């Protein structure tokens, strides 16, 4: 149980384009979903927290107009990187928590490369 | 400011050589401390949650312990498949449920 999927697993795009990443909880309802970013040899840094049907809460320094988060249902959250630039290249990982809110289950991550 | 510090940064063990990884934390109040395992290019895999000092959890060759200032992840008789980065994270009280991660310990177990 507690499986989280992400799609796509990797994406390469040109600078200036937008990219959407999906995060799904497959066998439980995710009250809260989190989006993290991980640069090489670094740990995970929280970008934003989203609750189903509510606006996401962004961490300080994360541009909400650049990283659009939608949590439309209890099993799906999306992260859209708008007008991507090479510095946005990173490993994006989502997590989800259900009835036990302090335990997060992570997706496999999405490798974004912006050329 | 809430901080999580893991040591060592990297650890190389021979198969069967037991050791411990350390996670020191500074928070105003602790909701929970978490251990995750992360393989290269993958998302973190949940291992343990610890809530109060003195608590211990075990899973196969791994045992996690917690004091008021730090947590240890003991690895007994490790195998090469235990090679991974082990991440420690805390959730402070009154800060929602977002995880605050340390930088991890990269463990390599050689045959």
Is the model's pLDDT at B2 over the cut of 80? Answer: no
pLDDT digits (tens, 9 = 90+) for B51-91: 999 999 999 999 999 999 999 999 999 999 999 999 999 99
Is A106 touching B (CB cutoff 8 A)? Answer: yes
3-class state of residue A86 by DSSP: helix
Residue B36 near residue B46, CB atoms below 8 Å? yes
Q: Give me the pLDDT at residue B84, please.
A: 97
Is the model's pLDDT at A1 over the cut of 80? Answer: no
Is A2 touching B (CB cutoff 8 A)? Answer: yes
Q: Which positions in chain B touch A111 (Cβ < 8 Å)?
A: 41
User: Residue A1, Cβ neighbours under 10 Å: how many?
Assistant: 7
Q: Which residue of B has its CA nearest to A90?
A: B41
Flag if A106 and B43 touch (Cβ within 8 Å).
yes
How far apart (Å, rounded) are the C-alpha atoms in residues B100 and B111?
33
B108 - beta bridge partners? B12
What is the DSSP pairing of strand B10-14 with strand B105-110?
parallel
Residue B4 near residue B102, CB atoms below 8 Å? yes
Q: How buried is A68 (Cβ within 10 angstroms: 0-12 exposed, 13-18 middle, 19+ buried)?
A: middle
pLDDT digits (tens, 9 = 90+) for A8-40: 999 999 999 999 999 999 999 998 999 999 998
Option in B36, B41, B49 nearest A102 (CB): B49
What is the mean predicted confidence (pLDDT) over B91-95? 85
pLDDT digits (tens, 9 = 90+) for A36-91: 999 988 889 999 999 888 889 999 999 999 999 998 889 999 999 999 999 999 99
Substitution target from B99, B100, B102 for chain A, most A beta carbons within 10 A: B99
Q: Give me the pLDDT at residue A54, please.
A: 84
Q: Which positions in chain B touch A34 (Cβ < 8 Å)?
A: 98-99
3-class state of residue A115 by DSSP: coil
């Amino acid at each position: 149980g507690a499986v989280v999927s992400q799609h796509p697993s990797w994406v390469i795009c040109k600078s200036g384009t937008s990219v959407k990443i999906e995060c799904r909880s497959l066998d439980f309802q995710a009250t809260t979903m989190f989006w993290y970013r991980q640069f090489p040899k670094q740990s995970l840094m929280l970008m934003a927290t989203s609750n189903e049907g509510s606006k996401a809460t962004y961490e300080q320094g994360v541009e909400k107009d650049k990283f659009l988060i939608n949590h439309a249902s209890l099993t799906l959250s999306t992260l859209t990187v708008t007008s991507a630039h090479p510095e946005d290249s990173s490993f994006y990982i989502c997590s989800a928590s259900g009835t036990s809110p302090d335990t997060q289950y992570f997706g496999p991550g999405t490798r974004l490369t912006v050329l | 400011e809430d901080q999580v510090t893991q040591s060592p940064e990297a650890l190389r063990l021979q198969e069967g050589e037991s050791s411990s990884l350390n996670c020191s934390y500074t928070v105003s109040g602790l909701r929970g401390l978490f251990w995750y395992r992360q393989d290269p290019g993958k998302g973190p895999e949940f291992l343990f949650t610890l809530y109060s000092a003195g608590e211990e959890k075990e899973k196969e060759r791994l045992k996690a312990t917690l004091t008021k200032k730090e947590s240890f992840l003991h690895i007994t008789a490790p195998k090469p498949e235990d090679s991974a980065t082990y991440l420690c994270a805390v959730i402070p009280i009154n800060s929602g449920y977002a995880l605050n991660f340390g930088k991890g310990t990269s463990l390599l177990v050689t045959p």
